[in-house]
Amino acid sequence: MKILNKSKLEEVLNRLGENADVYVPMSKGLQSGFYPWKSLEGGKDELMLDALNVYQPPKSVVFPQTERMYSLYQEGKGLKIEETYENDEPRVIFGARACDIKGIICMDEVFLTGGYEESFYKARRESTTIVANACYEPGPSCFCAAMGVDPLNPEGADVIIRDTGDAYIWEALTEKGEALSSTIKDLLEEKELSVPEAKPFIQQVDYDGVAEKLKGMFEHPIWDRTSEACLNCGICTYICPSCYCFDIQVKMYGHEGYRFRCWDSCMYEEYTREAGGGNPRPTGRERFRNRFLHKLEFFTERYGHPLCTGCGRCIVVCPAGINITSIISEAKEADLDA
């Protein structure tokens, strides 16, 4: 098998960086997320490949928080599109966990299937190669397996690396993965190593039948109580590896300007505000309910799996201590006649 000795990791990342923007899990002060390898400042920032995960998922590599779509100018009564900004520069996401890659697969389904392809997402996505870091030791808030994710064999990976201590086992799975491997083939070694032993999950979640059951729970009292502590901030949606809601707006300066796309959150009142002033989700309860029904019911109905990948980030970041695994178990146990 091919292996990548950890002593050669920096060299590998530098090499990959010659032809692409390489995003790696990194801490920057108290921040952590997928940041460009080139931005690593020695003595200040640290590579976090050996941590369970980082705070901000790699979602923004393929779906940036703000993305300029095209610039335009007004000509008489019409508008002329000056330039479109589809970005297909090569990039590599290095060391993502299965849960985070599943988030990208969810976005693929939304943006690239169903008879319509979203060209801005497509350009970024197709130029991205994913190196997955297989996960053998789930953290206390991890529950990816319960959501149909295989942490040991991440779906959607072009290459999988497996941490054996001093070296990673390197497995290329796709053409993109092979292409990446060929650029560093002099840095890989041939050696037999045994794969680490997978540790059991600490967090137990039973999602079986929940999507089906939630169909009958739109007006269930469970939402009155579970939503009470929620502040309706957008942390959970913005830090989520699979939340993909966005808004499209225009900025004009006189006769010229540009159109851009930016993340939006179903937690905000403005999100569902209608032009006439009405709002189908007027209070926090309806917004809270929508978030969980979208994750656990609607998406599963449409795509066959939930929009939650079990990464546990929303549990870690929520200022009000809301826990999606508790919502799943409450839904599971709820009395439908209540």
Partner 1 sequence: MNDFTQQIQDIASRLLDNGQVDVFIAWHKGQQDFQVQPYFARSADEAQNIIFNDYSIHNLSNSLLKFRDSKEKIGIVVKGCDSRGIIRLLEDNQIQRERLYIVGICCPGMKDPLQAMRDELGFNHKPESTELAAKCNDCIQPNPVIYDELLGTEQSPRVQDRFARVKEIEAMSADERYQFFEETISRCIRCYACREVCVACDCRTCIFDEMRPQWVGRENNTTDNLMYHIVKASHMAGRCIECGECERVCPVNIPLMLLNQKVIKDVNELFGPYEAGMQYVEGQKPPFSMYEESDPDDFL
CB of 188 to partner 1, least distance (A): 27
* Distance between CA atoms of residues 222 and 228, nearest Å: 10
Question: Where would I find the beta strands (DSSP E) of the chain?
Answer: 2-5, 21-28, 31-36, 45-47, 66-75, 78-84, 91-96, 128-133, 159-163, 167-172, 189-190, 246-253, 256-263
Q: Are 235 and 317 in contact (CB under 8 A)?
A: yes
Q: Which of 5, 71, 164, 232 binds partner 1 (CB under 8 A)?
A: 232
Q: Which of 105, 152, 187, 233 binds partner 1 (CB under 8 A)?
A: 233
Q: Which of 14, 19, 39, 66 binds partner 1 (CB under 8 A)?
A: 66
Comparing CA positions, the residue from 330, 312, 10, 67 lying closest to residue 187 is 10
CB of 127 to partner 1, least distance (A): 22
Residue 75 to residues 25, 59, 72, 81, 257, Cα–Cα distance (Å): 46, 37, 10, 10, 12
Q: Which of 228, 252, 282, 301 binds partner 1 (CB under 8 A)?
A: 228
Q: Which of 139, 148, 196, 257 binds partner 1 (CB under 8 A)?
A: 139
* Nearer to partner 1 (CB atom), residue 49 or residue 159: 49
Q: Which of 9, 12, 20, 48 binds partner 1 (CB under 8 A)?
A: 48
Q: Which of 317, 330, 332, 334 binds partner 1 (CB under 8 A)?
A: 317
- Contact flag: residue 121 with partner 1 (CB under 8 A): no
Q: Which of 19, 39, 65, 74 binds partner 1 (CB under 8 A)?
A: 65
CB of 9 to partner 1, least distance (A): 16
- Contact flag: residue 309 with partner 1 (CB under 8 A): no
- Contact flag: residue 238 with partner 1 (CB under 8 A): yes
- Contact flag: residue 274 with partner 1 (CB under 8 A): no
Q: Which of 249, 252, 301, 333 binds partner 1 (CB under 8 A)?
A: 249
* Nearer to partner 1 (CB atom), residue 95 or residue 177: 95
* Nearer to partner 1 (CB atom), residue 178 or residue 228: 228
Distance in angstroms between the alpha carbons of the first and the last residue of the chain: 57
Residue 223 to residues 30, 234, 285, Cα–Cα distance (Å): 34, 18, 6
How many chain residues interact with partner 1 (CB under 8 A)?
Answer: 53
Residue 318 half-sphere exposure, CB side, CA atoms within 13 Å? 20
Show the DSSP H helices in the chain as ranges. Answer: 9-19, 59-62, 98-112, 119-126, 175-183, 210-214, 222-226, 235-238, 284-293, 299-303, 313-317, 324-333
Q: Which of 70, 85, 136, 268 binds partner 1 (CB under 8 A)?
A: 268
* Distance between CA atoms of residues 310 and 156, nearest Å: 16
* Distance between CA atoms of residues 169 and 163, nearest Å: 7
* Strand-strand pairing, 66-75 and 45-47: unpaired
Q: Which of 321, 335, 336, 337 binds partner 1 (CB under 8 A)?
A: 321
What does R_g of the chain's alpha carbons equal in angstroms?
A: 22
* Nearer to partner 1 (CB atom), residue 24 or residue 315: 315
- Binding interface with partner 1 (CB under 8 A): 27, 29-32, 46, 48, 51-55, 65-66, 139-142, 225, 228-229, 231-235, 237-239, 247, 249, 251, 260, 262-263, 265, 268-270, 273, 284, 312-313, 315-317, 319-323, 325-326
